[in-house]
Chains A and B, each alone.
Chain A
Amino acid sequence: MICVASLAVFVIVMTISSHYTNAYAQEPNEQIKDLSLQDLIQNGSAFQGNVSAPITIIDFSDFQCYLCNRFVKNTEPLINQTYIQTGKVALVFAHLPNRGLDSLNAALAAQCTNDQKKFWRFHNLLYSNQKAIDSGWVSKENLRNFALRIPGLDIKQFDSCFDSEKYKSFVQKNIDLALSFGLKETPSFMVENSNGSNQEMLSGALPFESFKAVVEKKISAG
């Protein structure tokens, strides 16, 4: 009976772990053409880091997702300090608003702030004020109030962009991109060479050590 129980533990652990991790370390869908850093930036994705950084991390997140907030608070600062500030990694944000009904509005508003190079301030402001999913904290009115708190942001330009849902198709493309890779969970990450090659999927609010393992491997592989 103990052997059976041990076998059951092993099977359960392996099934869950393979579902949550290795399943995402798959080859990308062939439909995805180019995910080079240059293309991502040209298409309007917000990024931080050096344009010539050899490694790119694409972060698929939702502003209402508490695990994304865990990543932003605990892991991202270490990635920033260790790899982004040293020019080794560029971090690109991709929208995957699937946690709540208000998530799309938050994504649209955030993308509008990118027009004025204020994306990361808005990003940090939203995560530092995160509340319960769909509790109204990212209602249209509150998103506008968050935008008003960003110094130097032209609110008229923001309103025009946000009210017209200028980036709805852009956000949808981000969602399609994530789904084409089988990514449904937030946060999820794609770590790749900056020319878009050697892609590797990571899923979940992983600690810095996990990113370090992947990034160092890619750096040493050249």
Chain B
Amino acid sequence: MTNKKKTSFTSSSSSKGRTALILSFKIVFSNLIYIIFAAISAVIFWIISCIFEQLLFFYPIVVFYLPDDAVLGFILTNIIAILLGIVISMNIYVFRHSKIKIRSTSLLSGSSMSILSSLCVSCSSLGFFLVSTLGAVGVTASAFVSNYQTPLRLMSIALLIWAYYSISNKLTKSCMKDYLNSSK
């Protein structure tokens, strides 16, 4: 790397957060394969969410249907799908570049929890499974998930943003550390 680049790395420490987000995004998504990973992850999540939210049907005809009451949920689902795609792809990047030292706990607590909570947003349509298997407890659980769909989705978005921030920070720190070590 040139001195110019070194200077840009050093000056980035002042506006660490924002720069880390942009830099890590550029590092990961400069490679086409990670764009594809992100797109596939986002599309899978989007399809599953739309099926569970009863916006996408395959029988008796294939139809996508967005009624008025589902618009807010659909917007939040799209945001989650995009964030999920980015976070998953960044995690794959980290796993494939194992030289980058990122504590596994941060991955688990950040991305994995976000993924789980994002998928759990779709649980409201699974109420009948809970009801039939857990009885009254299932009814309560199902009612809770149905009643708090929007807050759960917002929580998912917050967790995903936190996971993105967390992984970006550590990814760029590792890059800087590796770079500084190699430049000595």
A interface residues with partner B (beta carbon < 8 Å): 1-2, 5-6, 8-9, 12-13, 16-17, 20-22, 25, 66-67, 69-70, 73-74, 98-101, 132-135, 184-186, 200, 202, 204-207, 209-210, 213-214, 217
A99 touches B142 (CB 8 A): yes
List the B residue with the shortest CB-CB distance to A98: B131
List the A residue with the shortest CB-CB distance to B62: A17
A133 touches B146 (CB 8 A): yes
- From B37, B48, B59, B128, give the contact of A186 (CB < 8 A): B128
Distance between Cα atoms of A204 and B44 in the complex (Å): 21
- Distance to closest chain B CB from A3 (angstroms): 11
User: Which residues of B have CB within 8 Å of A210?
Assistant: 57, 59-61, 63
List the A residue with the shortest CB-CB distance to B47: A13
User: Which residues of A have CB within 8 Å of B65?
Assistant: 206-207, 209
User: Which residues of B have CB within 8 Å of A25?
Assistant: 59-60
Contacts A13-B51, A202-B59 known; 18 new A-B pairs at CB < 8 A = A9-B47, A12-B44, A16-B48, A20-B51, A21-B57, A21-B59, A70-B67, A98-B127, A98-B131, A99-B146, A132-B146, A184-B129, A204-B57, A206-B57, A206-B63, A206-B65, A210-B59, A210-B63
B146 touches A12 (CB 8 A): no
- Distance to closest chain B CB from A180 (angstroms): 14
Distance between Cα atoms of A22 and B61 in the complex (Å): 11
Distance between Cα atoms of A70 and B66 in the complex (Å): 11
Distance between Cα atoms of A4 and B127 in the complex (Å): 31
B146 touches A66 (CB 8 A): yes
- Distance to closest chain A CB from B41 (angstroms): 8
In the complex, B147 has a CB within 8 A of chain A: yes
Distance between Cα atoms of A99 and B36 in the complex (Å): 39
In the complex, B136 has a CB within 8 A of chain A: yes
- Given A99-B146, A209-B61, A73–B47 Cβ distance below 8 Å? no
User: Which residues of B have CB within 8 Å of A9?
Assistant: 40, 43-44, 47
User: Which residues of A have CB within 8 Å of B143?
Assistant: 99-101, 132-134
Distance between Cα atoms of A70 and B65 in the complex (Å): 11
In the complex, B139 has a CB within 8 A of chain A: yes
Give 18 pairs: A residue, B residue, CB < 8 Å, sorted on A.
A2-B36, A5-B37, A9-B40, A12-B47, A13-B47, A13-B51, A16-B52, A20-B58, A73-B67, A73-B69, A99-B142, A101-B140, A184-B132, A185-B128, A186-B128, A200-B60, A210-B59, A213-B60
In the complex, B27 has a CB within 8 A of chain A: no
A17 touches B58 (CB 8 A): yes
A67 touches B54 (CB 8 A): yes
A5 touches B146 (CB 8 A): no
Leading 8 A-B pairs by shortest Cβ distance: A21-B59, A133-B143, A207-B65, A17-B58, A184-B128, A132-B147, A74-B67, A204-B54
